[in-house]
Amino acid sequence: MEAMIKIKDICKGYDVGNERLEVLKSINLEVEKGDYLAILGPSGSGKSTLMNIIGCMDVADSGEYFLNSLPIHETKEKNLTKIRNSEIGFIFQKYHLIPTYTVMQNIIMPLLVRGKSHTQAEEECKDTIEMLGLDKRLKHKPSELSGGQQQRVAIARALVGNPAILLADEPTGALDRNTGKEVLALFNKLNEMGNTIIMITHDLTVAEHAKRIVRIIDGEMFE
């Protein structure tokens, strides 16, 4: 069976003054459907750059990246935007919720971008909202929620579009220990339900919740 994600010899660098800084050095990675992978590395190791490439927010300088057999490395920017919206659900450390929107408005946003009506979008995300225990919070604004609740809203928003991958960047980084554990337990449940999860973290205890860990050190990957 073909891997859902296939990354081959990916390199990425940036010009800093007169020097070239190589951030990713010949990265190879395969992720199967239903996998739960943690990419573990210290600050500055290249893990965020790799996340941006997997999430189609940045492109590699060289190498190949296939997502569900689609050659991302040959895809034009306007099509990458569509792929981001349909194939990838993002969960960020700082939630990235729109403060003036209600919980419901934040959750249905990806579906509205796809052209669905409000009614259609709200109907489609009922089960997700219920599963995440947000049904009594739908009219609240993010500022009226705890950190854990805000992260649940972000997870609901990531899930509603039924993406191929959930891409979580330091998902417990802004949470206290107990709330962080709740969010990680939720990730385990989502993975058991068949969701493919890639989590970026600098914390080994967080990474150990995944089925598989790869490490990035100075732009090189070790399984």
Tokens 């450390």, residue located? 93
| φ and ψ at residue 98, rounded to 5 degrees | -85, 115
Mean pLDDT over residues 155-183, rounded? 86
Do the Cβ atoms of 165 and 4 come closer than 8 Å?
yes
- Number of alpha carbons in the 13 Å side-chain half-sphere of residue 191: 22
User: Which of 50-64, 70-84, 194-208 is least confident?
Assistant: 70-84
Structural domain harbouring 116: 5-222
Q: Which residue has the higher pLDDT, 167 or 180?
A: 167
* pLDDT value for 1: 62
Tell me: the pLDDT tens digits for 10-30? 999 998 888 988 999 999 999
Name which of 193, 188, 179 is nearest 209 in CA terms.
188
* pLDDT value for 24: 94
- Give the strand pairing for 196-201 and 165-169: parallel
Give the pLDDT band (50/70/90) at residue 34: very high
In the predicted model, is pLDDT for residue 150 greater than 80? Answer: yes
Q: Cβ–Cβ contacts within 10 Å for residue 24, how many?
A: 25
State the Cα–Cα distance between residues 96 and 1, nearest whole angstrom.
Answer: 35
Give the pLDDT band (50/70/90) at residue 161: confident
In the predicted model, is pLDDT for residue 110 greater than 90? Answer: no
Mean pLDDT over residues 185-212, rounded? 92
Mean pLDDT over residues 113-119, rounded? 85
The per-residue pLDDT of the chain, averaged, comes to 89
Q: What is the CATH number of the domain that holds 189?
A: 3.40.50.300
Q: In three state form, how does the secondary structure of the chain look?
A: CCCCEEEEEEEEEEEECCEEEEEEEEEEEEECCCCEEEEECCCCCCHHHHHHHHCCCCCCCEEEEEECCEEHHHCCHHHHHHHHHHHEEEECCCCCCCCCCCHHHHHHHHHHHCCCCHHHHHHHCHHHHHHCCCCCCCCCCHHHCCHHHHHHHHHHHHHHCCCCEEEEECCCCCCCHHHHHHHHHHHHHHHHCCCEEEEEECCHHHHCCCCEEEEEECCEEEC
Q: What is the dihedral of CA 90, 128, 106, 161, to 10 degrees?
A: 50
* pLDDT value for 181: 87
In the predicted model, is pLDDT for residue 5 greater than 90? Answer: yes
In the predicted model, is pLDDT for residue 171 greater than 70? Answer: yes
Domains contained in the chain, number = 1
